[in-house]
Amino acid sequence: MSHEPDARDAERVALAEAWIAQDPDPETREELASIVESVRGGDAEASADLADRFDSRLAFGTAGLRGEIAAGPNRMNRVLVAQAAAGLAAYLLEHAEPGTTPSVVIGYDGRKNSAVFARDSAELMAGAGVRAILLPRLLPTPVLAFAVRHFDTSAGIMVTASHNPPNDNGYKVYLGGEHHGSQIVAPADAEIAAHILHVASTATVPALPRASFETAGEEVVDEYVRLTAESAAPGAPAAQPRVVYTAMHGVGWETAARVLETAGFDAPALVEAQIAPDAAFPTVSFPNPEEPGAMDLSFERAREVDAELVVANDPDADRLAVAIPDAAAPGGAGYRRLTGNEVGLTLGWLAARRAAEVSGDAGPSGSLACSIVSSPGLEAVARAYGLDFEATLTGFKWISRAPGLVFGFEEALGYLVNPGVVRDKDGISAAAAFLSLAAELKAEGKTIADHLDEFVERFGCHASGQVSIRVTDLSRIGAVMSRLRAEPPASVGGIRVERIEDLADGFGGLPPSDVLRIVLEGGARVMVRPSGTEPKLKVYLDAVSEQGTVAERRALATATIATLEAGMRELVA
């Protein structure tokens, strides 16, 4: 389809040409030059593409930047990364104590351009007067989060898009000092963003000074391995569970293998096709263990070796997925992936029990924490062990800041099991902790499935579900949220709504967030929010049953979740 180029096209073409002139990447230069040529030729599709790239800009969201690798300010590329690095450097220099030099440690995973973005950032940070340390090679995100504390740097940068589609990349920012290596939160995010915009409007990338940087030695990885093995899996395993592991084409295996070996575990059977880092992610359409089909090869391998446990890290190894044998699994898979809430509650119980064992007669102290969209079952665990409980906004930038944190989790497969080592979700330490529990249970003649039954018997059945609606038009998400606020439902699937809590203006001491919490009769709960990292509207469903046998509790809670799911699909359609 063609159209006559107008004034807005001319403005965007001028912006694009200025962008091309400062872009050090020949691939994105050529890509953008081709689009510009098509716009000049009256190509309407190219005009819309250029508008999408230049009418807005990737902004700091959940912990930093994330987007598709392509040319333009609304994409991930070397120009945007250079501006981000220079802006972050300006922020660190502005906040440094007089007479001190701020510092940053930078890590990167195996995605396309990760190493390039990391080296650009190191050179530009050093050129701005910040001490810059680059990790020695591609490594998991948890190693970078650890390195911020290990080197006591002012900040950390991890170049990764975690479990996003193959052509995405991202830029996670951590802060040291009083932030203890947690991801950025307000007001730092807005201040950094303002510095980035200032750089973008006042300087070109070739004019930004560059300098040589330091490269960390292997000792930082060695120390992460040692401390993770000690804290996540203390003591020799009481038994050796049969385990299958996949890295989902990411960077987790090398480090995970060392941690498990140091902790005394036998080497797991591997999903060989997914072990080596591969930016193309050839065996999965979406490299996220939560996505349907993502763990099919893991289940195939598990059937071959009669595995008692399947363990999967996402591509940057900050998340963990776990599956257990289940003859009733759909399609004859023979294995069922546990939900993030099931794993989180299991690890939370383990952490509480360990805290009680260490504290002795004095009783445990500290807190268990999870995000507001994760299972409220963690509060029941905390209450049973005399621990405090903290419900935070979504994201480990909040969970990691819970006072006296002992353990934290998020239903999206994120677990923080050793806050003294890493103040972020860590799929490797979580895997070691889960294997430690599985080994303990096996020595007692029990399975993880038995343990889940014991949880229900002791704490009640805390069932959960989720409705996730992916959109191409982001305005649809805003429209649904506005409609729910303007016309609040009196019931969901026939279950009466007791109250609706709007977190937009803050609620219960939480910072403002675009979240609706619908509290229903019988203890059920629905949370509705836009995703912070993907074009999705997310609806989280929770129900609890504490009466009857384990089977009866499960049946009632599961039926309630099904009712809530049907009701919410109608409401958000």
- With beta carbons less than 8 A apart as the criterion, state whether 49 and 35 touch: yes
Q: What is the per-residue DSSP string for 389-457?
A: EEEE-SSHHHHTTSTTEEEEEETTTEEE--TTT-SS--HHHHHHHHHHHHHHHHHTT--HHHHHHHHHH
User: Residue 109's closest CA among 146, 142, 76, 131?
Assistant: 142
Q: Which residues are catalytic?
A: 162
Report, as an integer, the average pLDDT of 86-100: 96
pLDDT at 11: 94
Cα gap 111→169, rounded to integer Å:
7
Q: Which tokens go with 148? A: 């911020």
The answer to whether residue 109 scores a pLDDT higher than 70 is yes
Residue 554 CA, chain-centre distance (Å), reads: 29
pLDDT at 473: 82
Please identify, in words, the CATH class of the domain defined by 56-217: alpha beta
Sign of the C-alpha dihedral computed for residues 253, 258, 264 and 266 taken in this order:
positive
Same fold? 56-217, 227-456: yes
Cα gap 520→283, rounded to integer Å:
42
Assign 62 a pLDDT band (cuts: 50, 70, 90).
low
Q: Which tokens go with 498? A: 């007791």
Residue 74 CA, chain-centre distance (Å), reads: 21
In the numeric block, the tokens 């949370």 are attached to 527
Q: Which region among 7-11, 117-121, 207-211, 334-338 has the lowest average model confidence (pLDDT)?
A: 7-11
For the chain, what percentages of helix, strand and coil (3-state, to nearest 5) are there? Answer: 45, 20, 35
In the numeric block, the tokens 């993030």 are attached to 340
Over residues 511-553, the pLDDT tens digits come to 888 999 999 999 999 999 998 767 889 999 999 999 999 999 9
Residue ranges covered by each domain of the chain: 56-217, 227-456, 460-572
In the numeric block, the tokens 């300010």 are attached to 73
Report, as an integer, the average pLDDT of 131-154: 98
Other CB atoms within a 10 A radius of the CB of residue 167 amount to: 18
Q: Which tokens go with 63? A: 């912990």
Cα gap 284→162, rounded to integer Å:
14
Cα gap 406→403, rounded to integer Å:
9
The answer to whether residue 222 scores a pLDDT higher than 60 is yes
Return the DSSP state at 507. B
Cα gap 390→370, rounded to integer Å:
7
Cα gap 66→316, rounded to integer Å:
14
Residue 241 CA, chain-centre distance (Å), reads: 27
pLDDT at 63: 62
The answer to whether residue 330 scores a pLDDT higher than 90 is no
The answer to whether residue 351 scores a pLDDT higher than 80 is yes
SS3 per-residue string spanning 77-112: CHHHHHHHHHHHHHHHHHHCCCCCCCEEEEEECCCC
Over residues 240-295, the pLDDT tens digits come to 999 999 999 999 999 999 999 999 999 999 999 999 999 999 999 889 999 889 99
The answer to whether residue 212 scores a pLDDT higher than 70 is yes
- With beta carbons less than 8 A apart as the criterion, state whether 246 and 268 touch: no
CATH code of the region 460-572? 3.30.310.50
Assign 475 a pLDDT band (cuts: 50, 70, 90).
confident
Assign 331 a pLDDT band (cuts: 50, 70, 90).
confident
The answer to whether residue 2 scores a pLDDT higher than 70 is no
- Beta pairing, strands 131-134 & 103-108: parallel
The answer to whether residue 5 scores a pLDDT higher than 80 is no
Q: Which tokens go with 460? A: 């009640």
Q: For 151, phi and psi rounded to 5 degrees?
A: -90, -5
Over residues 168-191, the pLDDT tens digits come to 999 999 999 999 999 999 899 999
Cα gap 339→1, rounded to integer Å:
46
Please identify, in words, the CATH class of the domain defined by 227-456: alpha beta
SS3 per-residue string spanning 43-90: EHHHHHHHHHHHCCCCCCCCCEEEEEECCCCCCECHHHHHHHHHHHHH
Other CB atoms within a 10 A radius of the CB of residue 281 amount to: 23
pLDDT at 469: 85
Cα gap 403→425, rounded to integer Å:
16
Percent of the chain with pLDDT over 90: 85
User: Which residues, other chains included, contact 30 with Cβ-Cβ below 8 Å and sequence gap of 6+?
Assistant: none
For the CA atoms of the chain, what is the radius of gyration?
24
pLDDT at 215: 98
